[in-house]
A and B are shown apart, each in its own frame.
Chain A
Amino acid sequence: MSQEFQPNQLEKKGIFQQSNIVDLLIWAFLVITALLVLAPTIFMFTASFMPANDILKMPYRWIPKSFYWQNFWQGIRGNNGSFIYVRNILNSLIVAAVVSATTVFFSALAGFGLAKYYFKGRNLVFMMVMATMMIPFEAIMIPLYLVTTKLGLQDSYAGLIAPFLVNAFGIFLMRQYFITFPDEILDAARIDGASELMIFRTIILPNSIPAIATLAILTFKAQWDNLLWPLLVVQSEEMKTIPLYIVKFMAEKHTDEGAMMAVAVIASIPILLVFFKLSKYFLGGAAVYSSRKG
């Protein structure tokens, strides 16, 4: 009897011992890689409080000796003292906010239309939306630039905003969200005499806050980061957005590393705050995107 039990017991013991060490190794691996991934971001924050000489000193001191606020002053003031960064931050806010609002509105409208109305050519429209998703912005940026110039919209808010008024991913996201919405509620509202627009405004919009929040945050973030389009369409200092300001600031002779990191911190703080407050929408956004299948 005891001989029969032996191998089993040995195996159990083996797994137990192994899993203890393996467990520890997994924790160590996760913690070390997480710290490595976080290191550049932490570097940005600590370096923004250091004079340039300390930033490129060997070895790097992760804790600043004192808070060197001058970096932030120089970053906001700019090398020529024009404070144009403030204006550029405002531009980024305006563009990102307007684009988020229009994207949410038009995406919800079209997503609702595609999910809950049966009209001739609906499948064709849906296919067109999906096809739009396949056109990379990078492939159409030159003609887009020519169109925008032809319309006289270069170097203006309208030019920065126009190509992003709505996007196919947003429509897809909203359609997926609305498609499970019960038709009975809509029909009940119709019987009560509600118009289609009223249904959209009073029933659909208030009931799609999670989808709206996800789309709004993803869109805001995409615009906040957008480099390529502003690079093409903006010429004047006044119309630059944050990424363009950073590119210019980086290239200037009198910029030191500390001020550079201070500018980067200012650019990142709004998005980081939103991320920590509403991380579920960020993480959810990645998850939603993965549901995009044929």
Chain B
Amino acid sequence: MSKRKTKYSIERKKAQWGWIFVAPSLAVFALFNFYPIFNALYTSLFKKKLLSLKAPTFIGLHNYAYLLNSPDFWNSIRATLVFTLGTFVPLLIFSLLFAVLIMSRKRFQKFFQMAYYSPAVLSSVVAAAIWLIIFDPRGLANQWLNLIMNTPGIDHKWLANSIMVQLSTMLVYGWKYVGYFTIIFIVGLASIPQSIYEAARIDGGNHWKNFWHITLPLLKPTTILVSIMSMLQCLKTFSTQYLFTQGGAPLAPINVITLNVYNTAIRDHRIGRASAMSIILFIIMLFFTWVQFRSSRADEISY
């Protein structure tokens, strides 16, 4: 009887400690994650100016209505989606290609992994600083492109032309993160058991056939994971676009949602409108996360 009681109290004590251990983190999340997201939702229903002493006025969904009728905001949606599509598709293709080719080598695997990954080690500000010089009219980008296309002396306007500046941001981003996703693909590839390939070899498959019929189907979960992760990352891109506009690039072609939120709040002081934009961005990202959860559930693969 008494033994049972002590066991019970030990369990209770342990439960208490469990709560004590998670409490500090929960407090931080409550204050710095959950409160702000609800606050953003709440603020998005008000007309509110930063630094203004006037009480914010409730305007319902007017901020959302304004945004959905604003060509400027639609341009941001366009810029964000164009950037996301234009970045994540090449990212996916190249990281898969690099991973497969690296894994097909018997030597120097580590070296190539580190080489492709190394740009991710640099900060986004340093990356932008380097590329702004490379994209200078007299810089490396023009020199090399002219060498390849045999068009000496032509300025391709990497930062000035509205199409080129979008390509430039995609190039910088793709360069920076291709190694990161290569590593994830390599982890996925390494988890495919060799016995499957041996079985295929006995059946007479060649490398190319193996890739299409074995590797690619078995890599599907990793591919979906990389797609969604890179998409989510691209949707919230900020640094590259911000620094390019600071470096003199035109704003409109690369005015992604996060940059618009920042400018609307900090430059124009329109907190309510900026919050509404944040919420729309959040909803777009939630949608993609939901897609990820659904697809990762449906695609459990067992060997």
Give the interface of A toward B (CB within 8 A). 15, 19, 26-27, 29-30, 33-34, 37-41, 43-44, 47, 55-60, 106-107, 109-110, 112-114, 116-120, 122, 125, 128-129, 132, 134-147, 162-163, 165-166, 168, 171, 190, 196, 200, 221, 224-225, 227-228, 231-232, 242-243, 246-247, 250-251, 257, 260-261, 263-264, 267-268, 271-272, 275, 279, 282-283, 286-287, 289-290, 293-294
Complex interface bits, B88-125 against A, C-beta within 8 A gives 1, otherwise 0: 00000000001001101100000111111111011111
Q: Is B138's beta carbon under 8 Å from chain A?
A: yes
B107 to chain A, nearest CB (A): 10
Asked if B33 contacts A132 (CB within 8 A), the reply is yes
Which residues of the other chain, A, contact B76 by a CB distance below 8 angstroms?
Answer: none
**Residue of chain B at shortest CB distance from A246:** B125
- Complex CA gap A109/B222 in Å reads 30
A143 is contacted by which of B37, B101, B296 (Cβ under 8 Å)?
B37
- Complex CA gap A242/B122 in Å reads 12
**Residue of chain A at shortest CB distance from B204:** A11
Please judge, given known A-B contacts A109-B25, A117-B14, whether A227 and B133 are in contact too, CB under 8 Å: no
Asked if B126 contacts A147 (CB within 8 A), the reply is no
Known: A44-B126, A294-B292; 5 extra A-B contacts, CB below 8 A, are A119-B19, A142-B43, A142-B274, A146-B39, A227-B242
Interface of A is mostly: helix
- Complex CA gap A37/B177 in Å reads 11
Q: Which of B57-65, B66-74, B161-169, B282-290 contacts A (4 or more CB under 8 A)?
A: B282-290
**Residue of chain B at shortest CB distance from A37:** B116
Which residues of the other chain, A, contact B119 by a CB distance below 8 angstroms?
Answer: 37, 40-41
- Complex CA gap A113/B26 in Å reads 12
Asked if B121 contacts A47 (CB within 8 A), the reply is no
Asked if A290 contacts B282 (CB within 8 A), the reply is no
Please judge, given known A-B contacts A41-B122, A43-B130, A224-B123, whether A279 and B114 are in contact too, CB under 8 Å: yes
Which residues of the other chain, A, contact B52 by a CB distance below 8 angstroms?
Answer: none
Asked if A138 contacts B258 (CB within 8 A), the reply is yes
- Complex CA gap A233/B286 in Å reads 27
Asked if B130 contacts A44 (CB within 8 A), the reply is yes
B35 is contacted by which of A15, A129, A134, A143 (Cβ under 8 Å)?
A143
- Complex CA gap A179/B279 in Å reads 35
Please judge, given known A-B contacts A225-B125, A250-B132, whether A134 and B31 are in contact too, CB under 8 Å: no
Number of interface residues of B (CB under 8 A): 99
Asked if B25 contacts A139 (CB within 8 A), the reply is no
Asked if B261 contacts A138 (CB within 8 A), the reply is yes
Asked if B118 contacts A41 (CB within 8 A), the reply is yes
Which residues of the other chain, A, contact B101 by a CB distance below 8 angstroms?
Answer: 26, 29-30
A76 to chain B, nearest CB (A): 16
Asked if B286 contacts A134 (CB within 8 A), the reply is yes
Complex interface bits, B233-273 against A, C-beta within 8 A gives 1, otherwise 0: 00010110011001100000000001001100110000100
Asked if A147 contacts B39 (CB within 8 A), the reply is yes
Asked if A283 contacts B117 (CB within 8 A), the reply is yes
**Residue of chain B at shortest CB distance from A267:** B126
Q: Is B173's beta carbon under 8 Å from chain A?
A: no
- Complex CA gap A163/B143 in Å reads 44
B224 to chain A, nearest CB (A): 10
- Complex CA gap A146/B31 in Å reads 12
Which residues of the other chain, A, contact B206 by a CB distance below 8 angstroms?
Answer: 15
Asked if B115 contacts A142 (CB within 8 A), the reply is no
Please judge, given known A-B contacts A147-B35, A247-B243, A290-B184, whether A271 and B24 are in contact too, CB under 8 Å: no
Which residues of the other chain, B, contact A114 by a CB distance below 8 angstroms?
Answer: 18, 21-22
- Complex CA gap A277/B186 in Å reads 21
**Residue of chain A at shortest CB distance from B280:** A139
Asked if A40 contacts B130 (CB within 8 A), the reply is yes
Give residues 17-44 of B contacting A (CB, 8 Å).
Answer: 17-22, 24-26, 28-29, 31-37, 39-40, 43
**Residue of chain B at shortest CB distance from A14:** B206
Q: Is B178's beta carbon under 8 Å from chain A?
A: yes
B144 to chain A, nearest CB (A): 9
A37 is contacted by which of B178, B225, B246, B285 (Cβ under 8 Å)?
B178
- Complex CA gap A264/B130 in Å reads 8
Asked if A106 contacts B28 (CB within 8 A), the reply is yes
Which residues of the other chain, A, contact B183 by a CB distance below 8 angstroms?
Answer: 283, 286-287
Q: Is B145's beta carbon under 8 Å from chain A?
A: no
- Complex CA gap A162/B24 in Å reads 13
B238 to chain A, nearest CB (A): 6
B25 is contacted by which of A37, A107, A228 (Cβ under 8 Å)?
A107
Please judge, given known A-B contacts A227-B124, A294-B297, whether A162 and B32 are in contact too, CB under 8 Å: yes
Please judge, given known A-B contacts A40-B131, A106-B28, A279-B114, whether A286 and B40 are in contact too, CB under 8 Å: no
B208 to chain A, nearest CB (A): 9
Q: List 28 A-B contacts (CB under 8 A).
A: A29-B101, A30-B112, A37-B175, A41-B122, A106-B24, A110-B26, A113-B17, A129-B29, A135-B33, A137-B236, A139-B285, A141-B262, A142-B275, A143-B37, A143-B40, A147-B35, A163-B32, A166-B28, A196-B13, A225-B125, A228-B262, A242-B123, A243-B124, A247-B246, A250-B132, A260-B129, A264-B129, A271-B121
B133 is contacted by which of A41, A47, A279 (Cβ under 8 Å)?
A47
- Complex CA gap A176/B134 in Å reads 43
Asked if B19 contacts A225 (CB within 8 A), the reply is no
**For the complex of A and B, 5 pairs with smallest distance between CB atoms:** A117-B18, A113-B21, A225-B123, A119-B15, A143-B36
